[in-house]
Amino acid sequence: MDRRKFNSTLALGASGITLASNVPMACAMGTNQDKKKLGIALVGLGGYSTYQLAPALQDTEHCYLAGVVTGTPEKEKIWVNKYNIPKENIYNYDNFDSIKDNKAIDIVYVVLPNSMHADFSIRAARAGKHVICEKPMAMNVEECDAIIDACKKAGVKLGMGYRLHSEPYTQEVKRFVREKTFGNIRYISADAGYYSGSSPGQWRLNRKLSGGGALVNMGVYAIQSLIYGTGENPISVSAQEFSTRPAYFKETDETITAQFQFDSGAFGTIMTSHNVNANRLHAKCERGWFELDPASTYIPLAGRTSNGGLNFKQESQQKLQMDDFAMHILFDAPNLAPGEMGKRDMMIVEAIYKSISEDGKKQALNFEPAYGFSDG
């Protein structure tokens, strides 16, 4: 069920129950009983939290900005004053575990360098908080498993910060695939990248903090595009790496291309880079084509098909994403981006890096149906 259908269901009342906006919303978790909105704490107050997530949380329907966690004391006063956050909801990295006693906070959103995702996601779960983890999920598949296991043991929900699954253009692509609007997919390509200019000190160029370069940052968007653009998980991948600025990209990959095969017979390619601006999804089908260009940026996105253009109302993707996750907790709505999806993508990332290390040798991919990965 997509966002539009789910919201319609809420308006009409599910199973004979009318959920009006002035009626307390029930939740499976006892701590959320009689709550109209769920409180979110942002962990890490970098650019994404500052300019995207926090503003979006001023407009969300089912969640709100309840607290923050930062390692920079100077930021505490700024956020308290700007968003009127109670001082008891301000945490640092050392006292973070005491968040377990704060009933105002229901969800912890981990927005930290990649090397810190597993640690804080696991600690949040152990504190009894639901978890949203930014992409990539972790530094490796082993850490992904640790996060998933911690959330299951704690009985909390886990979602990925995959905002595109909540926005209408991506949902329309999924509909094309699901309903075979243009027939079966024959070929699909996705490009995702940007030009990293002159910031050699940024953490994304530090392999110990990032775990990789363009692939783990922008490449995840391209991988995702191929999967929801075909409705399938790939069965194999081969890949190549290119570097034109080795003095700048000393520790991380600059540009990667990869080729995928799918069980249906479709094949696809991705290009991801920190050295070129790229943002497109294009699919060739039996009876036409569809594309998004741009495909993974913040608003506005744009789309076209062989039948004409696409035109949807656009609003903050982060707002839609966080509301969708809150509805998953409050109303048992579908989890559009579960942790298993993040693990799947990291498995593909590791296969790509392995192929590169073996001179482009094809790597087999095998995803167990029990994970539900193909719902991508």
Residues that are catalytic: 135, 221
As a residue count, the chain comes to 376
Q: Who contacts 191 (Cβ-Cβ below 8 Å, separation ≥6)?
A: 222, 270, 271, 272, 278, 279, 280
Match 């704690």 to its residue by tokens: 154
Q: Choose among 300, 2, 344: nearest CA to 165.
A: 2
CA distance 86 to 98: 15
Q: At what angle do helices 168-179 and 3-12 cross, to 10 degrees?
A: 100
- Give the residue among 255, 241, 248, 247 at the shortest CA–CA distance from 357: 241
Place of tokens 């009983």: 33
Cβ atoms of residues 28 and 329 within 8 Å? yes
Provide CB contacts within 8 A for 15, sequence distance 6+.
none
Say how far apart CA 315 and CA 299 lie, in whole Å: 7
Sort residue 92 into left (φ over 0), alpha (ψ -120 to 50) or beta. Answer: beta
Q: How far apart are CA 6 and CA 252, in angstroms?
A: 41
Containing 7, the helix (H) or strand (E) segment is helix 3-12
Among residues 184, 171, 178, 199, which one has the least CA distance to residue 301? 171
DSSP for 53-66? IHHHTTT-SSEEEE
The token duo for 348 is: 């593909």
C-alpha–C-alpha distance, residues 303 and 139, integer Å: 33
Whole-number Å distance between alpha carbons of 12 and 135: 35
